A and B are shown apart, each in its own frame.
Chain A
Amino acid sequence: MKLSELKKDDKAVIIKIDTDDMMKSRLVSFGVAKGIELSVEAYSLANKTIEILVDDTLIGLRSDEADQIEVEKI
């Protein structure tokens, strides 16, 4: 499923990141990559942005970007 389909407080593992290299390298430098565990911490109004927790770091993402991250719920 897509990262954007998770609910608040869900935990998941990243299976695939389907974006261009630029975006991917940015995500990697935040510690977001294949095989990494994350949890969904918050959604903003109308689910426009989503806050995830990866290795103790909180990261804000736009839902468009969250659409491109494939995850498996755990």
Chain B
Amino acid sequence: MNAIKIVLAGQPNVGKSMLINAMSSSNSLKVGNFSGVTVEKTEICFEHHCHKLEMVDLPGTYSIRGYSQEEKVAHNYLLNEEYDVIINVLDSTHLQRNLLLTLELLKLNKKMILALNMADEAKKEGIEIDVAQIEAITGVPTVLVSASTGEGVDELLERVHDIADSHRRVSSNILYSNPIEEEILKLSKFFNERGFTLRDLSSREIAIRILFEDKDLYRELHEEPIMIELQPQIVASLEHIYTHHETKNINDVKANEYIAIAKGIRMETVKCSRQKNKKTPTKKIDDILINKYMGVPIFLFLMWGLFQLTFELGAIPMEWIDAGFGAFGEIVGSVIPHEATRSLIVDGIIAGVGSVMLFLPNIIILYIGIALLETTGYMSRVAFLLDGFFHKFGLHGKSFIPLVTGFGCTVPAYMSTRTLKSEKDRLITLFILGFMSCGAKLPVYVLFTGAFFGPEQAGNILFVIYIAGAMLGLVMAKALRVFVFKGEDEPFVMEMPKYRMPSLKLIWHTVYNKAKSYIKKAGTFILAASMLIWFASAYPKQPLLGEKYDIQIEQAGENKKLVSKLENQLKLEELEASYLGQLGKFSEPFFSPLGFDWKMAVALETGLAAKEVVVSTLGVLYAVGDDVDEESNSLIAQLKANVSFASAMAFIVFVMIYLPCLAASMVFAKEAGGYKYLFYLFVFTTVTAWVFAFITYRILIKIL
């Protein structure tokens, strides 16, 4: 059996991704309640009735005329790719607006099914839809479904099979306004008389396309001899239409017609028992959340609460994980006799991976928070509230969405900049996204704030770090707008989706997938990096150095204090002579004005691979060279003893600003349009990071 290739198209916030989830009962897709969650088309395969179904989830588009980057993705796909069936997903509670896209899709002349999603919600709101009537008008099979309750999903799959097997296309019964219908009739009669055909189009379809100035069709007709006779007819027809519509712009005419048709279909098929003027729950919530004066403070409070929660609540399981890995390392260490192997496993792998796993609870809480913002519909409100503010900095209110996503992970944040239409807005947003501290930077902050501030302070400091990063990003955006990317900015037109109760299932899956990929990263990438760092810190071996100290230690004999001092000195010198030490020493002059020792320099360099590695590197480096207090092995105590407050703060600032991880950098290069931009980003972030870390360090040194 051949696979059926299905394309899901629909406006944003109609639940396309969720419907795919319901159809395939897989949960690998991310679903959010604002436009732009699905930025790249997502493909998924599964079997139904022994047919393999291939699904392509296109980004939500209000229109397929290609307004923003992601709409172009959808447009190009629908026009140029091979597929069998389009499932046009509509929001049952906003049928009229959704039908506008359906009308455009009908023009594609492909096999299509309408899936009226959110049927359960519509029922609750007292909306009754006459499905048979919609089918009769559009000529397209129509199914009421609900992705959240699973209602109608089986029927939808059945209809997909039916239509994929059939070869007949039912023509639609959509009628335009009288003047246009008259002209359609005239033109199609003309085609019929001449026996003119084009592709598989009916003469009515050709007539409609000609009247609405379909550029592709004109290109095809250009070569046809019939054009000579046709031309005066078209001119006359358009003249007639223009007088009736009081405009000479065919796009305006088309818009009016489409809206009238969509309205007509809704009036004929939808019965609404809800009273018109009753306040909807969304309206009531909006009265509070986007209140002119309360809106912004409420938003700031929510963000502050999220960071408090991340720190306070996350601290509890952190202790268990820390203790767990410590005990595990000791047990494993005691059973491995071979010294180098033991060192690799305990000091390298367990210390490195453990220090990253430690932050899993924080990351889970942060992702729950962001998922809540996304799925409830609050995110778009924030864009609305903050657009005025953002606009001052040369950004777009919609930039807010990538920026907040950036607090989670910079990779999807880079991708979600595609919702921005203007290339300049996009580039500016891309360049400053790194300033929004991603989840992977959190471990570094938690570590340092934990070491240098009391537990009651740490949550606030964390909030300050995030806000400071965001502020710096805004200032940089303005600078970029003024000096580099000058020009017009994109208008702000945005749907404010209905508030929806966050589905627990959905949030669980989003967070579960994030946590899984974090653990996977810890188990693979970080594991490898830890081994590499361990190797670089343990080799090349220094036999001469060892011999020299062995003699001294032997001479010290009974003097235990001296012996342990000598042993530690040996470790430190060995470390400094290692590959890692050499790298650190080499780059130390660059970092020393910021108060960083060579270990911190190395941590920053390895952090270019992934920010979690900063912590694991510090873990490895300070675990091997514990030259201060043998009693305490915790990294926090080590940092406290080895790093000054001013250097620590400068370190936080540097981490906050400098280049994001390797994966993000690759995505950046792709989204910005070339590696040359990545080079600019590297220079831009490194210089900024250095300057700000320098200022921080110098000021703190003066004060303290």
A interface, CB within 8 angstroms of B: 19, 21-31, 33-36, 41-46, 48-49, 51, 55-62, 64-65
State whether B493 touches A26 (Cβ < 8 A): yes
Query: Which residues of B sit under 8 angstroms from A62, Cβ to Cβ?
Result: 387, 391, 397, 491-493
CB distance from A53 to the nearest CB of B (A): 8
Instruction: Digitize B279-304: 1 where CB-to-A-CB distance is under 8 Å, 0 elsewhere.
Output: 00011001100111101100000000
Residue of B nearest to A43 (CB): B292
State whether B292 touches A25 (Cβ < 8 A): no
Please classify the interface of chain B as helix (H, G, I), strand (E, B), loop, or mixed, using the class held by over half of its residues. Answer: helix
Query: Which residues of B sit under 8 angstroms from A60, Cβ to Cβ?
Result: 380, 383-384, 387, 397, 492-496
Residue of B nearest to A20 (CB): B491
Distance between Cα atoms of A2 and B397 in the complex (Å):
22
State whether A44 touches B491 (Cβ < 8 A): no
Query: Which residues of A sit under 8 angstroms from B258, Cβ to Cβ?
Result: 28
Given the known A-B contacts A49-B387, A49-B397, A51-B290, are A24 and B97 also in contact in the complex, defined by CB atoms under 8 Å? no
* Contact of A33 (CB < 8 Å), options: B259, B290, B387, B389: B259
Query: Which residues of B sit under 8 angstroms from A22, Cβ to Cβ?
Result: 67
Distance between Cα atoms of A43 and B287 in the complex (Å):
10
State whether A41 touches B283 (Cβ < 8 A): yes
State whether A42 touches B286 (Cβ < 8 A): yes
Given the known A-B contacts A30-B62, A31-B259, are A61 and B252 also in contact in the complex, defined by CB atoms under 8 Å? no
* Contact of A58 (CB < 8 Å), options: B63, B67, B282: B282
Given the known A-B contacts A23-B493, A55-B97, A60-B494, are A49 and B286 also in contact in the complex, defined by CB atoms under 8 Å? no
CB distance from B280 to the nearest CB of A (A): 9
Residue of B nearest to A63 (CB): B388
State whether B255 touches A55 (Cβ < 8 A): no
Query: Which residues of A sit under 8 angstroms from B255, Cβ to Cβ?
Result: 24-25, 28, 33-34
CB distance from A46 to the nearest CB of B (A): 6
Instruction: Digitize B236-274: 1 where CB-to-A-CB distance is under 8 Å, 0 elsewhere.
Output: 000000000000010110011011001000000000000
State whether B100 touches A51 (Cβ < 8 A): no
Distance between Cα atoms of A26 and B97 in the complex (Å):
12
Query: Which residues of B sit under 8 angstroms from A55, Cβ to Cβ?
Result: 94, 96-97
* Interface membership of B22, Cβ < 8 A: no
Distance between Cα atoms of A65 and B494 in the complex (Å):
12
CB distance from A66 to the nearest CB of B (A): 10
Write 26 A-B pairs (CB below 8 A) sorted by A numbering. A24-B251, A24-B252, A25-B255, A26-B62, A26-B493, A28-B100, A28-B255, A29-B65, A29-B100, A30-B97, A31-B100, A31-B262, A34-B252, A34-B256, A35-B256, A44-B290, A44-B295, A44-B385, A44-B388, A49-B384, A58-B495, A59-B495, A60-B384, A62-B397, A62-B491, A65-B491
